[in-house]
Structure 1
Amino acid sequence: MRPLSLLCALFALLLPTLAQAWGNHTPMCYRAFERMPEVAGAAAVKAEPLDDFLRDQEAAIARELDAQEASAREQLKGHAPRPDTLRFVADTKRSDADRHAAFLRALRLSPHTRLALYVQVDPREPEVPGQAIDMNQVSAVTPSKGATQRFVALQPGEAVAPLAVLASACDEPDYGHDLNLFDDNPGSPSNPPYGFGKQPFGNPAVAIGSQAPFHMGFFHQGAIFNTLAPSFARTFTELRVRQYGGLAVLAWRTGHAYWGWRFAGLALHHVEDLTQPYHASAAPGATLGHMMWVNLKAQLGAPADRQGLVVLQSNRHFVLERFQTNWIIENARQRRDGPLEAALRDTGQDGRYPAWGSDYVREVVAAEAFAAGPATDAAVVVGAPAKFVTDPNFDFAANEATLGPELARGMQVQRDALQARLAELLRHFGAHSRNTLRGLLKQVGIAGR
């Protein structure tokens, strides 16, 4: 079997389990932005249905989306051109429903994308301030066991803090925006297709796996890897950041401040995903040579090592995410701060990065996360109970619901190394989130740092 086929065989198994990076982004974004003057000091905005924005700015949105597509074709490596039949063309005579559907098609989002009026409540708030709504009104994805989101409906015209809009939207792209968009996905849009072609990596038959190419970026694997497996370079995180970011700027400029903050949060999600080393590296705990070797052995009839690699990478990702989520949520509910909260708020490193630009996601965010991969993987091995991260016969994801308390107890004893490493990653998460927002705000004349 060719080397490319060997790599694809591995990642078809691995990547569907890693489609989400940080669990719930919103609690972390509340901490990252709550002391940023441009957010904390911003005036309340009025909640606005998406259809109102689309109707009012239809022609401007059409121009913006065309400009985005033109620049993506020119500047983004591996870009899949949008079919011309999906262009958003202004038509004041059509219904709101038709305009809404055309907008989703032009962005090449799932037709099941909700974009409802809501906020996700900061877990530091003991009571839900408003009418609680179920996740299925906000998300097209069935919530996982132990989901931590609490949603409150917004009414058109209701005043809401930009912090709440921004932080809520930072989690939203995981609610089904990017599912089944490839030609070989069972539930892919048809008539016309979206133009992304076949799914470049992962298992196209697994719905959550179809999200991965929009939330991962393997930009720094090296020339040998790219030669052997060029399809892994086809990721669309940069496209989503451009799309949502451009719409945020347009919304702010045209007096639709609610959607400015909302689209900004959607863009930030994809930036934040790439601060997670397991989303910027194909396998942080393994060399290319080792990956090739275990795949070759599997093809020769000894698949145990390949399956072990898949399980271990998955387990370590889940353990890191579960530790981070539990820590952030528990501290929020207790209204206390610790090293992770301090890291998220820390603005001391924001200025050491280059200014926001078109290559920031790839050359700054993803490069940093890729470089942090081996140390992060090692910290998980040292900081978590061995049962969860070194036993290839144990599948953490399959047992998470029953073994979560055991993991939490084990972490109490062994957490220091992992906590220190995680704090550094969340420092990157906060800095890149703020720098991205500053870059967007600068385009509408709101001063950055």
Structure 2
Amino acid sequence: MKKLAYALGALMGLMSSTAGAWGNHTLAAYRALEAMPEVVNAAPVTVEPLDAFLKAEEKTIEALLASQEAWAVANLQSYPPRPAKLAFTANPDRSDDARRLAFAHALRIAPNSRFALFIQPDPKTAVSPAPRLPSEAVTTLPMLGNASQKFQPLKAGDTVAPLAVVASAADEPDYGLDINLFEDNPSEWGKMYGFGTQPFGNPILVYSSQAPFHMGFMHESKVLYTAAPFIKRTFPQLRVYQYSTLASLAFRTGHPYWGWRFTGLALHYIQDLTQPYHATLSPGDSTLKLLAVNAISMVGLSGMKNDMVTLLSNRHLALEKYQAEVLLNSALAKQDTALDQALRNSEKDSSYPEWYDHYLRNVVSAQAAGYGNRIAQTLVASMPEGFVSDPSFDFGANEEKVTMVKELANAQPEAKSRLDALVAELLSNFGAHSRNTVRGILKASNR
């Protein structure tokens, strides 16, 4: 059993090297929230630095972070308790830098997280060039040369629309907040945070280290959990609870800018788990196949496992890139596509339970995991064979050279129609769960 767990760990390690879910969350979040009255009718908010919020609410934040830890211990499977020395304790005499560091330590996020004052303008409504903020001021991670993220600086005292704040923050957890948090990662903070060793993925690869916070394999078979219990060690539920309760506190105490910004941070993890490749270990593959592939690998024949890993990564990336290109192209052209409409359509919102603490696990990830077979079959039938069925091709290494919209322009109309319908369905879930989360946070804030 230990050998099997090791083999499954190696398989997951390679799979999790693709840590993105929906590309630039901000583009999709604008579409999901742009017709939601609670967001678009909310009054503009005054921009406030994080240090000002932390200093003004130090005592209430101390109490909240203590309650967050108690909730996590009581409610989350395989949760490693936070070391007592990392608890946030109010101290009005310390410097802003020391207070911010204590806040990062208590949340167990990367202490070099920027938390810059910025927005990503919506390309669909932008009418003139805006000032640009260098990406390194916003993220600790390198951006691809063709990245769609464009940052506009804000300054304390500016007023800004809540939609821009929450949509911009929805992409922010991919800017380094969850990087190198495990004891075998190359960081000092990982050695003090108490999360243990990285449960899967290569601990030396920077993007791999965030995967256990952005993926959640919460609905696998009992056989897999028995063989590889480490797949339970994922933490998106922790992040949703931390940021959603911080949002409610900020709203209640008169800091609406941080109310909307923390809401956006919480949305990121909800949105990640609407992606089937983040909610299940190997979409389209049975437990029996996973066990068989790993059994073969254990006797030194790793070719089948390596091929499976490459195909999973390629399909994940191809799906994400196609979706991102369609949304960006439609925004730049100031047009509507079926994907834009699906994100905005609120008809499904009330078909789900009201948002609650375990909404991510019981509603979002359960639904996404159920798409495993369908998404794999649709991608294989609809996308160019070389991208999704050829293990000799590495999509990640060639991603910047590939334009999925052009590649699919010559696809069989019926196959492309099925792909577009499925992506629209997934994004309708993305939109509905995003809005339900916003409603839940606002309700908890008495707004």
TM-score past 0.5 threshold: yes
Query: How far apart in 1 are the matches of 2:224 and 2:291?
Result: 10
| Structure 1 residues 128 and 281, CA gap change in structure 2 (3 angstroms) | farther
Secondary structure class of the residue paired with 1:323? helix
Cα offset, 1:196, TM superposition: 0.5
Is it true that 1:57 corresponds to 2:52 in the alignment? Answer: no
Counterparts of 1:375-394 in structure 2, within 5 Å, are 375-394=374-393
Query: How far apart in 2 are the matches of 1:165 and 1:175?
Result: 16
Greater alpha carbon shift after TM alignment, 409-418 vs 53-62: 409-418
Partner of 1:428: 429
Query: How far apart in 2 are the matches of 1:130 and 1:337?
Result: 23
Partner of 2:401: 402
Superposition CA RMSD, Å: 1.4
Q: Contact 1:129–1:152 at 8 Å: present in 2 too?
A: no
Query: How far apart in 2 are the matches of 1:82 and 1:411?
Result: 51
Counterparts of 1:39-438 in structure 2, within 5 Å, are 39-127=39-127, 130-189=130-189, 193-404=192-403, 407-410=407-410, 414-438=415-439
Query: How far apart in 1 are the matches of 2:88 and 2:430?
Result: 33
Query: How far apart in 1 are the matches of 2:381 and 2:361?
Result: 29
Q: Contact 2:110–2:177 at 8 Å: present in 1 too?
A: yes
Query: How far apart in 2 are the matches of 1:245 and 1:171?
Result: 15
Q: Contact 1:182–1:199 at 8 Å: present in 2 too?
A: yes
Cα offset, 1:431, TM superposition: 0.3
Cα offset, 1:388, TM superposition: 0.6
Query: How far apart in 2 are the matches of 1:362 and 1:112?
Result: 29
Which residue type is aligned with residue 354 of structure 1? P
Query: How far apart in 2 are the matches of 1:4 and 1:301?
Result: 16
Query: How far apart in 2 are the matches of 1:101 and 1:42?
Result: 32
Secondary structure class of the residue paired with 2:152? strand
Secondary structure class of the residue paired with 1:2? helix
Which residue type is aligned with residue 11 of structure 2? L
Cα offset, 1:412, TM superposition: 8.2
Query: How far apart in 2 are the matches of 1:243 and 1:441?
Result: 15
Greater alpha carbon shift after TM alignment, 412-421 vs 251-260: 412-421
What percent of counterpart residues are identical?
47
Query: How far apart in 2 are the matches of 1:32 and 1:178?
Result: 25
Residue by residue, what CA displacement relative to the aligned partner does 1:306-361 show, whole Å, maximum 9, x if unpaired? 11101100000000000000000000000111110110011100001011111111
Cα offset, 1:411, TM superposition: 5.3
Query: How far apart in 2 are the matches of 1:71 and 1:27?
Result: 32
Secondary structure class of the residue paired with 2:136? helix
Query: How far apart in 1 are the matches of 2:400 and 2:163?
Result: 32
Cα offset, 1:128, TM superposition: 5.4
| Structure 1 residues 411 and 93, CA gap change in structure 2 (3 angstroms) | farther
Q: Contact 2:184–2:197 at 8 Å: present in 1 too?
A: yes
Greater alpha carbon shift after TM alignment, 88-97 vs 377-386: 377-386
Secondary structure class of the residue paired with 2:186? coil
Query: How far apart in 2 are the matches of 1:87 and 1:411?
Result: 55
Q: Contact 1:130–1:153 at 8 Å: present in 2 too?
A: no
Query: How far apart in 2 are the matches of 1:264 and 1:372?
Result: 27
Task: Show structure 2 runs of 5+ residues with no match.
Answer: none
Cα offset, 1:410, TM superposition: 4.6
Secondary structure class of the residue paired with 2:16? helix
Greater alpha carbon shift after TM alignment, 166-175 vs 404-413: 404-413
Cα offset, 1:109, TM superposition: 0.5
Cα offset, 1:145, TM superposition: 3.4
Is it true that 1:31 corresponds to 2:31 in the alignment? Answer: yes
Query: How far apart in 1 are the matches of 2:433 and 2:322?
Result: 21
Cα offset, 1:299, TM superposition: 2.8
Q: Contact 1:121–1:128 at 8 Å: present in 2 too?
A: no
Residue by residue, what CA displacement relative to the aligned partner does 1:17-67 show, whole Å, maximum 9, x if unpaired? x21100000011111111100001000000000000001000110100001
Q: Contact 1:182–1:196 at 8 Å: present in 2 too?
A: yes
Residue by residue, what CA displacement relative to the aligned partner does 1:230-263 show, whole Å, maximum 9, x if unpaired? 1001111000001100110000001000000000
Which residue type is aligned with residue 150 of structure 1? K
Cα offset, 1:375, TM superposition: 0.6
Which residue type is aligned with residue 383 of structure 2? A
Q: Contact 1:119–1:152 at 8 Å: present in 2 too?
A: yes
| Structure 1 residues 62 and 274, CA gap change in structure 2 (3 angstroms) | same
Cα offset, 1:445, TM superposition: 1.9
Q: Contact 1:315–1:389 at 8 Å: present in 2 too?
A: yes
Greater alpha carbon shift after TM alignment, 370-379 vs 274-283: 370-379
Which residue type is aligned with residue 374 of structure 1? N
Query: How far apart in 1 are the matches of 2:75 and 2:299?
Result: 42
Structure 2 length-normalised TM: 0.97
Residue by residue, what CA displacement relative to the aligned partner does 1:201-255 show, whole Å, maximum 9, x if unpaired? 1111111001000001100002111111110011110000011001100000010
Q: Contact 2:384–2:408 at 8 Å: present in 1 too?
A: no
Which residue type is aligned with residue 90 of structure 1? A
Q: Contact 1:14–1:202 at 8 Å: present in 2 too?
A: yes
Structure 1 length-normalised TM: 0.96
Query: How far apart in 1 are the matches of 2:313 and 2:176?
Result: 21
Query: How far apart in 2 are the matches of 1:48 and 1:130?
Result: 20
Query: How far apart in 2 are the matches of 1:200 and 1:407?
Result: 36
Cα offset, 1:127, TM superposition: 4.6
Q: Contact 1:183–1:197 at 8 Å: present in 2 too?
A: yes
Cα offset, 1:79, TM superposition: 1.2
Residue by residue, what CA displacement relative to the aligned partner does 1:140-172 show, whole Å, maximum 9, x if unpaired? 110023200111000111010000000000000
